[in-house]
């Protein structure tokens, strides 16, 4: 199985982004997605800067570099950004919205579909494949059983990718929750989300960590962690596991998944996280300490 690094969800400074990807080059990851996927106002790196960074990375490493597009488009400016990414003329593009699917399929370019595209069944999958989709990352809320149902019903399959580690993107809004929290308005946001490199945690009134606020995006409070399910993921026919970037301990996460695919699975290397979705339960259910297999939703 291949390991992929998803696009950075948070707003990091240009320097931090450059340093981050430089450090990633030495990891055993196979695929790197990059680009702004959350907010079209973020301007540390604009479309042209992401393109330049992507081309540089493609030159200096043998990893596959994929450009990711914005998820929620709210203006013509956002659409133009997506257009520039789709028109890059060189690298594979991950569409995170139907706008990108339209632009890419119209240009007869192959494309990947990110987790925010609503592909829930085989007929949708094959329709998009007929338009040029070559890779599919399943929606984060899809269970192992449902994924199995889709793949079993498929004649030909795209490359199948799964969001296997990290805070899951759960929602996108017109409202920016970071500026709402700070009492500012969105037009004068001051790009304050940069102050929260791993987002702003949101707790229930009973101290339960529910979500992470990241600008207009809401992420899961806990990271999904499918490490312990590695053998089942492989048996199901998943080709790529996606790890979502985080500010701290990135190498540790990559190393844990890498040792799993080298035959040395050790769930204790990454003991934290949730896997409810995978098991056909509520997404926030913590990974089971034991007996996880008996409740596993996947029937392979």
Partner 1 sequence: MELVCPAGGLPALEAAIDNGADAVYIGFNDDTNARNFGGLNFNDRSALRALERIRSRGRKLFVAINTYAKPGSFSRWQAAVDRAADLSADAMIMADIGLMEYARDKYPKLSLHLSVQASATSVAALEFYRRQFGIRRAVLPRVLSLKQVQQLAAGSRVELEVFGFGSLCIMAEGRCHLSSYVTGESPNLNGVCSPARAVEWRNGANGLETRLNGVLIDRFADNENAGYPTLCKGRFVVDGKRQHALEEPTSLNSMALLPELKAAGIQAIKLEGRQRSPAYVAQVVRTWREAIDEVLQRGADFLVKERWRGTLAKNSEGKQTTLGAYDRPWQ
Coil/strand/helix, residue 286: strand
Tell whether residue 298 is among the known ligand binding residues.
no
Tell whether residue 113 is among the known ligand binding residues.
no
97 versus 161: smaller Cβ distance to partner 1:
97
Tell whether residue 176 is among the known ligand binding residues.
yes
Q: How far is CA 68 from the centre of its chain?
A: 9
In the region spanning residues 39 to 78, those forming contacts with partner 1, defined by CB under 8 A, are: 71-76, 78
82 touching partner 1, by CB under 8 A: yes
C-alpha distances out from residue 181 to 176, 177, 186, 201, 217, Å: 9, 6, 11, 11, 13
Q: Tell me how many residues contact partner 1 (CB under 8 A).
A: 74
278 DSSP assignment: T
133 touching partner 1, by CB under 8 A: no
Q: Give me the least distance between CB of 105 and partner 1, in Å please.
A: 8
- 49, two tokens: 């800067």
Q: Are strands 2-5 and 240-243 parallel, antiparallel or unpaired?
A: parallel
In the region spanning residues 161 to 180, those forming contacts with partner 1, defined by CB under 8 A, are: 168, 170-177, 180
Q: Give me the least distance between CB of 216 and partner 1, in Å please.
A: 9
Q: From CA 177, how far away is CA 173, in angstroms rounded?
A: 9
In the region spanning residues 186 to 245, those forming contacts with partner 1, defined by CB under 8 A, are: 186-187, 200-208, 210-211, 213, 218, 220
In the region spanning residues 87 to 126, those forming contacts with partner 1, defined by CB under 8 A, are: 97-103, 105, 116, 118-126
- 214, two tokens: 């990241």
In the region spanning residues 249 to 278, those forming contacts with partner 1, defined by CB under 8 A, are: 276-277
- Annotated binding-site residues for [4Fe-4S] cluster read 39, 176, 189, 193
């Amino acid at each position: 199985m291949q390991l992929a690094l998803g696009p950075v969800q948070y707003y990091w400074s240009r320097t931090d982004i450059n340093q981050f990807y430089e450090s990633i080059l030495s990891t055993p990851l196979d695929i790197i997605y990059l680009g702004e996927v959350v907010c079209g106002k973020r301007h540390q790196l604009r479309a042209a800067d992401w393109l330049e960074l992507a081309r540089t990375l493609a030159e200096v490493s043998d990893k596959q570099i994929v450009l990711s597009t914005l998820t929620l488009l709210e203006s013509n400016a956002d659409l133009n950004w997506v257009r520039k990414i789709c028109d890059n003329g060189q690298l594979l593009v991950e569409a995170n919205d139907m706008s990108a699917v339209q632009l890419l399929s119209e240009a007869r370019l192959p494309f990947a579909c990110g987790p925010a595209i609503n592909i829930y069944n085989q007929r949708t999958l094959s329709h998009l494949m007929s338009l040029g989709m070559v890779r599919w990352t399943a929606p984060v809320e899809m269970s192992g059983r449902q994924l199995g149902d889709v793949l079993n019903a498929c004649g030909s399959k795209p490359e199948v990718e799964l969001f296997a580690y990290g805070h899951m993107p759960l929602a996108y809004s017109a409202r920016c929750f970071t500026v709402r929290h700070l009492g500012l308005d969105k037009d004068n946001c001051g790009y304050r989300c940069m102050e929260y490199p791993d987002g702003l945690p949101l707790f229930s009134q009973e101290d339960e960590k529910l979500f992470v606020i990241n600008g207009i995006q809401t992420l899961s409070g806990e990271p999904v962690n499918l490490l312990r399910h590695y053998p089942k993921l492989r048996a199901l026919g998943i080709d790529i596991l996606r790890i979502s970037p985080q500010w701290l301990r990135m190498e540790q996460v990559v190393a844990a998944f890498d040792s799993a695919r080298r035959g040395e699975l050790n769930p204790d290397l990454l003991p934290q996280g949730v896997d409810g979705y995978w098991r056909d339960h509520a997404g926030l259910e913590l990974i089971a300490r034991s007996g996880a297999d008996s409740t596993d939703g996947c029937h392979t």
